[in-house]
Amino acid sequence: MASNRASARPPAPAGPDRRARRRQETIDEILGIAVDVMSEDGVTGLSLSEVARRLGIQPPSLYKYFPSLMAVYDELFRRGQIEHLATMRAAMVGVEPGLPALAAALDAAGRWALANRPVAQLMFWRPVPSFEPSAESFAPSVELVALHREALADAVAAGQLGAAADSDEAVWLISTMISGVLTQAFANEPGTQWGQGRFTPLFPRLLATLPVLYPPHR
C-alpha cells in the first residue's frame, strides 16, 4: 500500500465531506418535518413557513435546500416511490415465486402505505392539482408495473392463474384492490395498522379472488 505523508489521518481538507453530510441531514430533517405537517394538515396543507417554524429557521433559509414548495413535494414523491418499490422487492425475497411472492409484496406495500400515509396519498391519490411529479421522480412506477407483471407471469407459469393474468389489466385490477382498501382505511380509520380495523383485513380475501378472475386451465 503506497502512502504519502500523513497517511494516518483522513484526506486533507475533509471539510467538503462534512459539509455535504450536514447538508444532507438538514434536507432529511426538512422532509421529515414536511411529512409531519402533511399528517396533521393534509397533503395540501404543507407550507414552507410551517416547516421553517418547526425547524427553528427563517423561511428564506429553506430556499438554500429546495428551490420551491413543489420541489419539496417532488422529492417526497421521488423518495416515496423508491422506498415503496424497495419495500415490495425486499418482501419477495425467499418467497415462492408467483402468487405467494405477489401476496407478500402487496402485504408489504399496504403496511408501507399505512406507515407513510401522507406520502402514499401524494403518490397515488394526487390531491395537489398544481403538482405534477417530474419524469425522474415518476420513473420507479414503471418498474413497479414490471414487478407486478413478473410476479403475475410466474403465477401463470406455475399454473396458479390463467394466461390472461399475464396482462396490464391484471395489474390494474390488483392496484384497484389495494387502493380501495387503503382509501377506506385512510378516510374512515386514520391511524390503524395493517391487519387491523374493518378494511385492511379484507385485502387478502380480495386478492384470493384472483384465481377466480383468471382461472388456470385446471
Partner DNA sequence: GTCTATAGCCTGATAGAC
Partner DNA sequence: GTCTATCAGGCTATAGAC
Give the nearest distance from C-beta 101 to DNA in angstroms.
41
63 binding partner (options DNA, its own copies, none; Cβ < 5 to 8 Å by kind): DNA
* Position among 183, 192, 204, 216 found at the interface with its own copies (CB under 8 A): 183
Is the separation of the CB atoms in 93 and 61 below 8 Å? no
Task: Look at residues 149, 150, 154 and name the one whose alpha carbon lies nearest to residue 170.
Answer: 149
Is the separation of the CB atoms in 106 and 207 below 8 Å? yes
Task: Look at residues 168, 148, 39, 139 and name the one whose alpha carbon lies nearest to residue 81.
Answer: 139
Is the separation of the CB atoms in 81 and 123 below 8 Å? yes
Give the nearest distance from C-beta 58 to DNA in angstroms.
4
Phi/psi for 32 (5° steps) reads: -65, -45
158: contact with its own copies by CB under 8 A: no
**Could you tell me the end-to-end alpha-carbon distance of the chain, in angstroms, rounded to an integer?**
65
Give the nearest distance from C-beta 212 to its own copies in angstroms.
5
Task: Look at residues 177, 198, 183 and name the one whose alpha carbon lies nearest to residue 103.
Answer: 177
Phi/psi for 150 (5° steps) reads: -65, -45
Nearer to its own copies, 6 or 187 (CB): 187
209: contact with its own copies by CB under 8 A: yes
169 binding partner (options its own copies, DNA, none; Cβ < 5 to 8 Å by kind): its own copies
Give the nearest distance from C-beta 108 to its own copies in angstroms.
18
Contact positions vs DNA (CB under 7 A): 19, 22-23, 26, 46-50, 56-61, 63-65, 67-70
170 binding partner (options DNA, its own copies, none; Cβ < 5 to 8 Å by kind): none
The Cα angle at residue 89 between residues 177 and 161, in degrees rounded to 5: 50
Nearer to DNA, 60 or 94 (CB): 60
Is the separation of the CB atoms in 148 and 171 below 8 Å? yes
21 binding partner (options DNA, its own copies, none; Cβ < 5 to 8 Å by kind): none
What are the grid coordinates assigned to 4, written together? Answer: 504519502
Give the nearest distance from C-beta 189 to its own copies in angstroms.
11
The residues binding its own copies (CB under 8 A) are 40-45, 124-130, 168-169, 172-173, 175-181, 183-184, 186-188, 198-199, 202, 205-206, 209, 212-213
